[in-house]
Structure 1
Amino acid sequence: MSINKVILIGRLGADPEIRYTLDGKPVASFRIATNEVIVKNGEKEILTEWHRIVAFGRLAEICGEYLTKGSQVYIEGKLRTRKFEDRQGIQRYITEIIVQNIQILGKKPQTSQTTESLTSQVESSPKLVKKDEPLPLEETEEPLIDEEDIPF
């Protein structure tokens, strides 16, 4: 028995890129950054690691609709390393995280709603989007979370 599972919480470095396979299935790709604080010689240092993320099908559509640069996300997935040949004919390898579950964290982007109407909304726990599960529209509502509550 073996396990291939990755869990990350980080922020998007850019808006997701949405492409389509030859048979019309959506594929979203984006990168997220995770931070680690280490103490070196008595001084704190922040190490940032970038991760390549790929989502397929309905999860790709959700990423394209709701994620933007700077969005904070919780990702569950699996590592996949693939081999390809670059333009010069050199074989290269790339390791990506294939999304199985995603949860959008953080504050909602401000729209035409006023701050009063946003704060008067009933807060509910964030919903986990499963790979093979359709997402009802009412489940896309996110709770208001203060950035100071996030540990990094």
Structure 2
Amino acid sequence: MNKVVLMGRLTRDPEVRYTQGDNPTAIARYTLAVDRRFKREGETTADFISCVTFGKLAEFAEKYFRQGLKVIVSGRIQTGSYTNKEGRKVYTTDVVIEEQDFAESKGAAKETNQGNVPAAGQEDADGFMNIPDGIDEELPFS
């Protein structure tokens, strides 16, 4: 079985490209900084894992993923190789993402990225927005 589950922060905004042809497909690449569970005293250690995703997941990453955002992903490890310009063989290891999701609230991501605290009345500490009383008839569900 080839299954990987990772939780970490994006080291930079995803790099997205589109294939050529009649039906272009999005391809997103990003790197996750994943903290190691066991570390030596006073030492912060992270692994930097290359991830790639395709199609709708890549478009989602392009639209919503930003540097510093904490995400959880699952997929499979894929290895490959190519010959570079100098004629040397280069080996690659990527996680091909099959599922991806946010691992923190939008407010927590803002605090991490910009050091800002959400304005009062917009979000609670748990990341949910307060809905004022008396607007029940305006909600699309009940």
TM-score range, shorter chain: 0.7 to 0.9
Question: How do 1:1-152 residues align onto structure 2 when only pairs under 5 Å count?
Answer: 3-23=1-21, 24-38=24-38, 40=40, 43-108=41-106, 114-119=119-124, 121=129
1:114–1:45: structure 2 CA closer, same or farther, 3 Å change rule?
Answer: closer
Structure 2 stretches lacking a partner, 5+ long: 111-117, 131-142
> 2:39 touches 2:45 (CA, 8 Å); kept in 1?
no
Q: CA RMSD, aligned part only?
A: 1.9
* More deviation, 16-25/47-56: 16-25
Q: Give the number of equivalent residue pairs.
A: 116
In structure 2, C-alpha distance between the alignment counterparts of 1:83 and 1:35, rounded to whole Å: 27
Which runs of 5 or more residues in structure 1 are unaligned?
123-152
Deviations 1:44-100 (A, max 9, x none): 422210000001000000000000000000000000011111111111110000000
TM-score normalised over the length of structure 1: 0.69
Question: What is the rounded CA distance, in whole Å, between the counterparts of 2:39 and 2:72 in structure 1?
Answer: 26
Q: Which residue of 1 aligns with 2:136?
A: none
SS at 1:69 equivalent: coil
Deviation at 1:107, TM superposition (A): 2.8
Structure 1 runs of 4+ aligned residues shifted over 6 Å read none
% identical aligned pairs = 28
Q: Which has the higher strand share?
A: 1
Q: Which residue of 2 aligns with 1:145?
A: none
Hey, what does 2:140 align to over in structure 1? none
Query: C-alpha distance in 2, partners of 1:32/1:39?
Result: 18
Q: In the TM superposition, what whole-angstrom CA distance separates every residue of 1:30-57 from its partner, at most 9, and x where no partner exists?
A: 00011125354xx342221000000100
TM-score of the superposition, structure 2-length normalised?
0.74
